[in-house]
Structure 1
Amino acid sequence: MGSKIGVANSLPESLIFDEILARLPVKTLVRFKTVCRGWYFAITSPEFARVHLAFSYLRQVFLINISERNIRSLYLLPYKDVDDDEGLVKFVTKYYQSLTLVGCCNGIVCLCLRDRRNCFKKFILANPATREYREIDNLCGDYDVKAFGFGYVSSIDDYKIAVVYCDSNEKVNHVYTFSLETGTWKQVVANIAGEDVNKFEGGYSSFYNNKIYWKNHRFMKDGKRDKFVFSIDLITEKWEEYPWINGLSPYVHVDLVVLQDRLAFIGEVSCQNYSDVWMIDEAGDWNIWNKVFSVDLGYGRRFLNVSDSGIYLALVHWDQLELIYPSSGPSRQSPQSTYWFKRGLSLVKKTGFYYDTFISPFGKIAHSGAEISCKQLEPNPKQ
């Protein structure tokens, strides 16, 4: 026994923290903070958070926003360890009435909170693993939030929220970005003032290559719809408009998403059980799109997302979530795991990916001495 302790004590700290502890989930590491004072400060340091982040993607799971009786909740669905997964797990309790998923980057989940009248109240930047959250109040109380997005810009090491406000006539009024690092709002000069925002797809966006994208359309004088895409560059904070790509007209429904780190359109084929996936050029050139694959998951299944390893997430008959794993043989992919939710009362609003990290929703502000309270996500809040 003594020799084993001696070997452990002889290990360099860099090996212990950077190669061993950095591979463990946050839930386990939180307990290790009580080992000694040195471990506490090492595990809670921003440097360790960055090292730990490099391994966190290995624990990636699907993140799903489901609306149940007009109450939107978040769920986690593991997919890597089929035999050991916990199934569909409630992500955040009903501490808040209704949570809309804005986006998720590096374990920081951005949520939109609305009241019972569906009016925007505030944004929440949350790290559920460390039970920290940061509330960001509505900047323009006289206007409603119609579209939003969230992303991380590695070149400036900052997380940003983009918001499109509209007036009582459903016309675009202001566009702002919020910086996690500075804790301030900044107005974006956008050439969309007066645009009709009814078709902002519920505000949902996609983050790709430092930009947040929304699909929209405007009605022309002849009554036809002009489809296009808006974006905000989170580095330059400039607003851009892109034309609708060729090849999407045959589809009854089109989603703009990010699949396998590429911006993509998912087109649902009318009266058939498959979807086509169009991806942007690897260089990110908007003028170059290619139909890279088609997804045929069988009758009654709607393609929602796909992992880097080719595991599909599908919606089945509107009341089931299904994980479909790649087949090792010549036969078509077959479902491996099925998860039910309330029949006829639920609707999948948005999907993404989540993994636990130590990244703080307060950024550098949390270490600057500013008087900001760090609240805890209550596991069983009193109603």
Structure 2
Amino acid sequence: MASFPIDVLVEIFLWLSAKSLVRFRCVCKSWNSLLTSPFFIKAYLERSIKLHKFDLLKYDFNNISRVQIHYSPKNELSDLNNSFVGDGEKFKLVGSCNGIVCLSTFDCKNPHRSKIFLWNPSTGENRALPQPNFCVSNLIGFGFDPSSGHLDDFKVVNVNIHFEKHSNYTSQVEVYDFRRNCWKQVGNIFPPLLTKHLRHQSFCSIFPSSHLGHQVIFKNFICWCPIFCVDDEIVTLLILFDVVQDDFRKMAFPDIMPPTEKHISLLDGCLSLIAYNSSTDHYEVWLMKEFGVCELWTKLYTIGSIVNCWPVGFAISGEVFFLEKLYKGLRYHSPIQCVLYNVGSEEFEKFGVEVDSLYSTQLVPCIESLISLSSANNVEH
């Protein structure tokens, strides 16, 4: 194969898994040069968006955090080695972009022990970030700046909430730049209404339900959909962090959408929501047809016959992951089970995964990638 024309060799390599390509770097110098070149890394990433997609299912079981790859549509699971986080250390998946995943740990008793990692699950490479200027909080976001021209221009946002005299609440927001390998303080920019609300919540469970919720990366925005109460009224809205401008934005939902809790996700490359309708006791799936326009949310379909289920997100195949809590008498029966909703057949099926908690279970879409974490200047546009 070493004598093949370079264009033929590239085409063959683009169909292979990242794990195989990492091994092939050792074959000869010319292969190593090709497979580590910015040209091939970019081409492989573009091909992966079509061919090499998978979901990361993170959950806690028996008080241990686990991550597995979920392959659609066979609904098979494959274990991943995340021992670099630390034995017995609980963590959450903050998010994934360009095949790189951000993980964070949170120790409320000793915040200085909390850590943030970047990880390429396709190659196994990982990197612990330098400690931020303030403590690693439970409010972490992970995104990517597409305007810079670099495929590895990753950003991590760390939000600390502080209570001051006279009931004042302030935030300390800082942003990590992967290419510069440093943190930058950007000030008290977290939305004041949320700052006050989140300060009243308990931050001392490992990942409480009162945090911003699971995030979605869409274009240059990190998106959350938190739920909170204002004057005894439930309020939900989109919170966006622009990684280009290093600033937060808020976006309201249209009145036609159910006012109760919503779970943010991605579906067909668009922002989507799984919204609970308390009047019908059903979940509704909504899609934002045009980003940034509040009125252009469209209801795609309704999921009926839901009993004691909590949405996790959409699999790449379009199936919806739910967690099912079973009653035993008047109490919930543990453990909690994962079920899949098939949109085509409108049926649920057991998935064979048991979890400890609703809020520590995450489904994060990912793609295979050859982006390296050892150097911050290895991928040019």
TM-score (norm 1): 0.78
**Cα displacement (A) at 1:325:** 4.5
Q: CA deviation at 1:364?
A: 3.1
1:100 pairs, out of 87, 92, 107, with 92
8 Å CA contact 2:220, 2:242 repeated in 1: yes
8 Å Cα contact 1:79/1:323 also seen in 2: no
Q: For residues 1-383 of structure 1, what are the structure 2 equivalents within 5 Å?
A: 11-17=4-10, 19-57=11-49, 58-80=51-73, 82=74, 86-87=76-77, 89-90=79-80, 92-93=82-83, 95-96=85-86, 97-115=89-107, 117=109, 119=111, 121-141=114-134, 143=135, 145-156=137-148, 157=150, 158-167=153-162, 171-189=169-187, 190=189, 192=191, 195-198=196-199, 201-204=210-213, 205-216=215-226, 220=230, 222-224=231-233, 226-249=235-258, 251=260, 253-270=261-278, 274-296=282-304, 299=307, 301-317=309-325, 319-325=336-342, 327=344, 332-335=345-348, 338-341=351-354, 348-362=360-374, 364-365=376-377
Aligned-CA RMSD value: 3.3
Q: CA deviation at 1:40?
A: 1.6
Instruction: Give yes or no for contact 1:295–1:303 (8 Å, CA) kept in 2.
Output: no
- Matching residue of 2:204: none
| Residue 239 to residue 334, structure 1, CA distance change in 2 (3 Å) | closer
Kindly state the Cα deviation for residue 248 of structure 1 after the two structures are TM-superposed: 3.8
Are the counterparts in 2 of residues 72 and 98 from structure 1 also a CA contact under 8 Å?
A: yes
The 8 Å contact of residues 62 and 76 in structure 1, kept in 2 or not, is answered as: yes
Structure 2, unmatched stretches of 5+, are 202-208, 326-334
CA distance in 1 between counterparts of 2:340 and 2:82 reads 22
SS of residue matched to 1:364:
coil
Distance change in 2, residues 1:236/1:361 (3 Å): same
Shift of 1:249: 4.2
Q: Which of the two has higher C-alpha Rg? A: 1
Which is further off, 49-58 or 8-17?
Answer: 8-17
**Residues 337 and 349 of structure 1, relative CA distance in 2, 3 Å threshold:** closer
Moved more, 315-324 or 37-46: 315-324
Q: Separation in 1 of the partners of 2:12 and 2:110?
A: 46
The answer on whether the counterparts of 2:157 and 2:174 sit within 8 Å (CA) in structure 1 is yes
Residues 282 and 118 of structure 1: CA distance in aligned 2, closer, same or farther (over 3 Å): farther
Cα 1:324/1:118, change in 2 over 3 Å: farther
Tell me the CA shift for residue 105 of structure 1.
0.9
**One-letter amino acid matched to 1:316:** E
Q: CA deviation at 1:275?
A: 1.0
Q: Structure 1 pair 294/243, CA: closer, same or farther in 2 (3 Å)?
A: same
Aligned residues: 349
Does the CA contact (< 8 Å) of 1:98 and 1:115 recur in 2? no
Q: 2: CA distance between counterparts of 1:345 and 1:179?
A: 32
Q: In the TM superposition, what is the alpha-carbon distance from 1:108 to its structure 2 partner?
A: 0.4
Residues 181-239 of structure 1, C-alpha deviations (whole Å, 9 max, x = no match): 2222223352635533246842432222311123346665x554554433221112222
Identical pairs, percent: 22
Contact 1:68 1:347 (8 Å CA) reproduced = no
The residue type equivalent to 2:277 in the other structure is V
Kept in 2, the 8 Å contact 1:68–1:346? The answer is no
Instruction: Tell me how far apart the structure 1 counterparts of residues 376 and 350 of structure 2 sit (CA, whole Å).
Output: 41
Aligned residues of 1:229 and 1:243 also touching (Cα < 8 A):
yes
User: 2:312, 2:5 → 1: CA distance?
Assistant: 45
Secondary structure in 1 matching 2:14: helix
Distance 1:223 1:272, change over 3 A: closer
Aligned 8 A contact 2:55 2:316 in 1? no
Alpha carbons 2:139, 2:211 under 8 Å: kept: yes
Q: TM-score, normalised by structure 2?
A: 0.78
Q: Describe the shift of the 1:13–1:149 C-alpha distance in structure 2 as closer, same or farther (beyond 3 A).
A: same
Cα distance 1:69–1:295, how it changes in 2: closer, same or farther (>3 A)?
A: same
Task: Pick closer, same or farther for the CA change 1:110–1:67 going to 2, 3 Å.
Answer: same
Distance (Å, rounded) in 1 between the aligned partners of 2:110 and 2:305: 35
CA distance in 2, matches of 1:196, 1:40: 52
The amino acid that maps onto 1:64 is L
Classify 1:309/1:53 alpha carbon distance in 2 versus 1 (closer, same or farther; 3 Å). Answer: same
What amino acid is aligned across from residue 286 of structure 1 in structure 2?
C
**Which amino acid counterpart does residue 132 of structure 1 have in structure 2?**
E
Structure 1 portions without partners, runs of 5+? 1-7, 369-383
Deviations 1:266-300 (CA, angstroms, capped at 9, x unpaired): 21233866310222232432343222222236555
